[in-house]
Structure 1
Amino acid sequence: MKRLRNVKILATLGPASSDEDMIRKLHAAGADLFRINMSHSSHELMRTLIGRIRAVERECGRPIGILADLQGPKLRVGKFAEGSVTLSAGQTFVLDNRDEPGDSTRVFLPHPEILEAVQPGHRLLIDDGRLQLLAVESDKTSITCTVVSGTKISDRKGVSLPDTTLGVGALTEKDRADLDAVLATNDVDWVALSFIQRPEDLAEVRKIARGRVGLMSKIEKPQALERIDEIIELSDALMVARGDLGVEMPIESVPGIQKQLTRACRRAGKPVVVATQMLESMISAPVPTRAEVSDVATAVFEGADAVMLSAESAAGDYPVEAVTMMASIARKVERDPNYPGIIYSQRPQPEATGADAISLAARQIAETLNLSAIVCYTSSGNTGLRAARERPNVPVIALSPVYQTARRLSVVWGLHCVVTEDATDLDDMVDRACRIAFREGFGKPGDRIIISAGVPLGTPGSTNMLRIAYIGSDGMTGI
């Protein structure tokens, strides 16, 4: 199935999209990989969804990626005697460790790590920022606050801490159990880590995962931005999770942060996903707002690897229409006359490695000679990532003998992934590349392609060769 666009679409599965037929429709509409939200999925449901995705994958014959999104630490206040209370700006309100129903003066905060970490002057945002508190005193058992804005607080509302770095890691006990279940399936390609604060938060997960899944860090806390270069280096991919990021930071700063993260990931050759509320109105409407279309278009213009649908595909009334619309926006943007100039102006300098030099040369040759496609053999996925980092204006076909690699690369900009056996010799390498380019619709007899591979063949990390080849007159044999 040839996509007529480079940016990938990540669709979240949920009540509106959990059966196999709907997954098939979403994939046909343009979803390249699927997200399973572990905040709302039991282990049994997760395994069921994986089985249905893999059934669709076998049917369509194209690798489909699966992302399991861990919940992360959910910080919430306790309950109130009356269910909710009304506050007023300027009044004092206390969060403490007393496990008793709250009132208009106090509420239980069942998170000792917050009580220990918050300092006077720190902000506490309740219910996605609808209530803002300012800490004026803290004694490790209670936090005395002044109400800055907002008037209402009710049971179990979430707490955000934009000024506070917590001393606990990003993995909760639920996350560890979910991660074990994900790894036990041996069939999930990416794990998204919520509320990353520092590079050390990745260490425990990487130790447990041992390379069996790619690690995608969700950037949704200001603390992560302070050490973003280190986090990018230790991550396999990033997600710009604009929902919580827009709560913990001034909402007007989020677009600029999105651009900074997209460009930083491209420089590092790491995939980046832009997420949250992209087509939010399509949860209940068959068409998006003009502002939402512009939002998706901005991410595509910036060269993001993927854009994500959350509730739109998981619980909305129009999941297929949402995917179709996102794909349509992407195709239109990538054909805009301004698109090449914007993409190329951000092109990073190649790193001093063989894979980067080969990928740069392949892109330059393909564009200079107007070749039909770049075909790269990639076992580990690194050559595919390097080819995509160049953002060439010709299609890139990534050939891999490893199904897990092809599935993981499904999130990467511009890569059309095909699982195939390793070439047996140089002639087979050329013939195989030409046959697949023809079969997949990327070239016709007489067209030329450029092939990157490594000698000796089948050796991961040895990309050191380029070859220009013609697709034969029978569309099958490289000449």
Structure 2
Amino acid sequence: MRRRRAKIVATVGPASASPEMLKALFLAGVDTFRLNFSHGTHKDHASVHASIRALERDMRRPIGILMDLQGPKIRVGTLRDRKITVRSGETIRFVCSGSEGDGRAIPLPHPEIFAALAPGDDLLIDDGKVRVRATRLGNDYIEAEVIVGGAISNHKGVNLPGTILDLSPLTSKDRADLESGLHLGVDWVALSFVQKPSDVIEARALIGERAGLMAKIEKPAALERIDDIIQMSDAIMVARGDLGVEIPHEEVPARQKELVRACRLAGKPVIVATQMLDSMVAAPTPTRAEASDVATAIYDGADAVMLSAESATGLYPREAVEMMDRIIRSTEQHKMYRAIIEATQPDEDQTPPHAVAAAAAGLASAIHAAAIVAYTSSGATAGRIARKRPRVPILATTTSVEVSRRLCLLWGAHSALSGQVQSYEEMVGRATELAKQEEFAVSGDSLVVVAGIPLGQAGTTNNLRVVSVS
């Protein structure tokens, strides 16, 4: 049992792909493992997936697996001399096609940029280290003024913060990766560079119900349609890396708070990601600012926080997970935590399922229940209860292995598999057995049991009962 509510997601890479390290990371606190399909082969990911599922069997605990698609990364082409240096105030030229670029013509082999860009729009190169502004455009060229100079080298990334591109979020590589991941049986698919709700619809058509769909918010355009994107997704990732390139740095913290609150209001899990303990890639301890960054995400009410290079390629993957676990537990135990979380409570949703879930959270707190036991066939009942961020843990029991794994991302949820129950009394009896078995309750404790009647039917959270453990 984790002695915390927020979850930890860790990226698997060369530093953490061995079965021994995966086990060490799980025991240190990882709830869901991320497979980054921007790197590695299908064979590599299949091997890691098999190791995680073997670990799951050994630990007898569900473990989530998130596959993260690369998405349509825009890059400059090949430069004749591999690198050029541009200076503020000078004019440079981008071309859509042609020979290798030089200082006068930088290849940018993305026709969709030439179709969408307008004079005055900015292009950010190499994570914003170089900034240029379009001044004159043709069908196959862009002239731009250099605003912030620097070096441009082969295949550096390009961001266009003010431009919506007519670009599918799924490249041919993504589609092949997606088929491979779904065949393996991943639990979540993270969709990169989402710009608009139709991007989510396109991905949903391919994924169906085979995995949860997570939209990564890293484009300003997505912020303009965020409510629709949240409603169409199963979860959200606040991907602060590219988002922090495309919007001013000083706006990122407020946007993070807005996104976390919007997801909580909608009852959808939200992950805060990117550079959370970045110095631990090369050092055994984080900076104080990084520790504060993780704590801020927890105070905001995020469902999960994520490690990227820290666990994938860093020198101290286990220590990074242990540190994140300690920061979360310390934050959640602080005297200010409950006051802040309850001050940001979302308004009540005027539907019976949400009202029952809210009542369960309030009742469990009032009677000092040992846990809330949520019978859930799709995960929705547990999600409605977690939305209230109750003081007591949520024991989310389901008959579905897939649902139990997806719940490894949900705030406060300890997921456990349960067999089918045929009657109301059997449900109550099973709830008390599970609470004792999972070490949430002992004889004399009270439990709040929430379910939908008829049993096993999704979306029918309508029943609440207090039971004593005997």
Q: Same fold (TM over 0.5)?
A: yes
Q: C-alpha root-mean-square deviation of aligned residues, in Å?
A: 0.9
Stretches of structure 1 lacking an aligned partner (at least 5 in a row): 473-479
Q: TM-score, normalised by structure 1?
A: 0.97
Aligned residue number for residue 316 of structure 1: 314
Match of 1:390 in 2: 388
Give the 5 Å matches for 1:81-160. Answer: 81-160=80-159
My pick for the range that moved more, 110-119 or 326-335, is 110-119
Match of 2:75 in 1: 76
Contact persistence 2:357–2:461 (CA under 8 A): no
* Match among 247, 250, 254 for residue 248 of structure 2: 250
Structure 1 residue 354 displacement after superposition: 2.2
Aligned to 2:198: 200
Aligned position for 2:173: 174
Counterpart of 1:331 in 2: which secondary structure? helix
Give the Cα–Cα distance (whole angstroms) in 1 for the partners of residues 453 and 196 of structure 2: 39
Give the one of 202, 206, 218 matched to 2:216: 218
TM-score (norm 2): 0.99
CA distance in 2 between counterparts of 1:430 and 1:151 reads: 66
SS in 2 for 1:52: helix
Instruction: State the 1:245 CA deviation.
Output: 0.5
Q: Hey, what's the Cα distance between the residues in 2 that align with 1:361 and 1:265? A: 20
Give the letter for the 2:254 counterpart. G
Counterpart CA distance in 2 for 1:374 and 1:270 is: 19
Aligned with 2:356: secondary structure?
Answer: helix
Q: How does 1:380-419 map to 2 (within 5 A)?
A: 380-419=378-417
Q: Distance in 1 between matches of 2:433 and 2:169?
A: 46
Deviation at 1:41, TM superposition (A): 2.4
Q: Which amino acid aligns with 2:282?
A: S
- Per-residue Cα deviation, 1:98-129 (whole angstroms, up to 9, x for no partner): 33122122211111111111110000000000
1:18 offset after TM fit, Å? Answer: 0.4
The aligned counterpart of 2:369 is: 371
Q: Deviations over 1:361-404 (max 9, x none)?
A: 11111111111110010011110110110100011100000010
- 2:252, 2:457 → 1: CA distance? 42
Q: How many residues align?
A: 470
1:463-474 superposed matches below 5 A:
463-472=461-470
Which stretch shifts more, 340-349 or 418-427? 418-427
Moved more, 257-266 or 439-448: 439-448
Q: Which moved more, 1:420-429 or 1:57-66?
A: 420-429
Match of 2:425 in 1: 427
CA shift, 1:91, in A, is 0.7
1:401-455, Cα deviation, whole Å (9 max, x unpaired): 0010010111010000001112222222111111111121111111110101122
Q: Deviations over 1:190-248 (max 9, x none)?
A: 00000000001111110111111111100001111111111111111100000001101
1:297 aligned partner: 295
1:323-338 → structure 2 map (5 Å cutoff): 323-338=321-336
Aligned partner letter, 1:288:
P
- CA drift of 1:345 comes to 1.0
> How far 1:155 sits from its partner (Å)?
0.9
Per the TM alignment, residue 458 of structure 1 is displaced from its structure 2 partner at its CA by 2.3
Measured against aligned partners, the alpha-carbon deviations of 1:291-315 in whole angstroms (never above 9, x if no partner) come to: 0000000000111000000000000
1:460 shift after superposition: 2.3
> Quick one: distance in 2 between partners of 1:8 and 1:321?
16
Q: Say whether the 8 Å CA contact 2:399–2:420 is kept in structure 1.
A: yes
Q: C-alpha separation between the residues in 2 aligned to 1:164 and 1:449?
A: 52
Conservation of the 8 A alpha-carbon contact between 2:193 and 2:217: yes
Q: 3-state DSSP class of the match of 1:270?
A: coil
SS of 2:115's equivalent in the other structure is: helix
User: Aligned to 2:197, what secondary structure does the other structure show?
Assistant: coil
Residue in 2 that maps onto 1:183: 182
Give the equivalent residue in structure 1 for 2:349: 351
Provide the C-alpha distance between the structure 2 equivalents of 1:451 and 1:47, rounded to a whole number of angstroms: 38
How far residue 36 of structure 1 moved from its aligned partner, in angstroms, is: 0.2
**Percent of counterpart pairs with the same letter?**
50
Q: Is 1:451 matched with 2:455?
A: no
- The unaligned stretches of length 5 or more in structure 2 are none
- Correspondence for 1:20: 19
Give 3-state SS (helix, strand or coil) of 2:391's partner: coil
1:229 is matched by which residue type in structure 2?
D
Q: Find the aligned partners of 2:40 and 2:192 in 1 and give their Cα distance.
A: 15
Shift of 1:352: 2.3
In structure 1, the residue matched to 2:50 is: 51
- 2-structure distance, mates of 1:208, 1:161: 27
